[in-house]
Every structure is written in structure tokens, then in C-alpha cells.
Amino acid sequence: MTAEDTTAREPDQAPLTGWGTFAAKGLGTLWLAWSEAGLQRLSFQRLQSVEAEETLVPAVYAEALTRYFDGEAEDFADVPINLRGTDFQLRVWNALREIPWGEVRTYGGVAQAIRSPRAMRAVGQANHVNPVPIIVPCHRVVEAGHHLGGYGGGLERKQLLLEVEGVRFHEGVVQPGQMELF
């Protein structure tokens, strides 16, 4: 199954059917919200105005996140997601799902991958509004100089997520061997 197969393209998201919290090892509490179609939100902060019942996080999400935070190479390919965004955002998010565990790409590299080579800043904006970080691994995108760049969840979280995947840093710069040129 490809990332393209799991990304909903309907104009309206399915109504939320539940929400819950997940204790992420080393990171703290994550808030998740889902519909019958898949995960719609993953947040580092409490979700506001969620019109659904709080319940246990379904195993399909909790087990994949547990494997990830235990340091297993989890690609989340079997995690159903139900995203809503512009065509451009969906292209970016699908490209992010193709970045392998423990590797990083530059914003320019992602722009190249989606055949919009001059859209580096737009790629950054799409990353910033990614509704399901970690599952759609926007943390794997860094600046051209191999510095961390920005992250909606904060740079400390971005570095921690990359370190979970075995990415090494020296003074905030990704070390060689973990970068693809594009």
C-alpha cells in the first residue's frame, strides 16, 4: 500500500468518532483524533473543540506509535489516515511518507520530488500545517545547510524524533550519511 492509497481526497473529512491520548516515550503526551476513515489529527498539545467521545486510542495507531518510540523502523504504511488539504499539501504529505526511517531530506529535495522545484517555502508551509506529524514525518525535512530548520512542534521535539530514528547531530547539524542530495 502506498501513501497515495491511504490519503483521502474527498472534499469533506469524515466526522470524528473518537479521540484519546498516547504516552510517547521521551516525548510526553500526544493527542489523537480519528474517524472511521482514519487518523485525522495528532497533536503535541491538547486538542480543542473535538466533538467526539474520549476513548482508548485504537490499536492500529497505538501499536504503530509504540513500535516507533521503541526505536523500531516503523513506516506507518498500515496506519489509515484521513487528511484534508490542498492538492499541493497532499502531494507534499505523500512525498514525506516516502522518506525512509532514519533519513532526512531538504525542503528543496521534497520540492524536487513533487516536481515543483522552486516551491521550497511552500513545502515548509505544508509541513507546518501537517495534521498528523510523526505519522506523516515532516520532522525528516531539514534546511539545505543540514540544520534542523523549523518545526511546528518545536525544534527540541524534531531533534528527539530524529534521534529516535538514529539520526546523529553535531551542534544542531545533521551528520553525513543520513542525507540524500534531494
Q: Give Rg (Cα) of the chain.
A: 16
* Candidate list 24, 90, 134, 138, residue with the active-site label: 138
C-alpha cell of residue 168: 546523529
Is 124 designated active site? no
* Structural contact between residues 92 and 127, judged by C-beta atoms closer than 8 angstroms: yes
Residue 88 DSSP label: H
Residues identified as active-site: 138
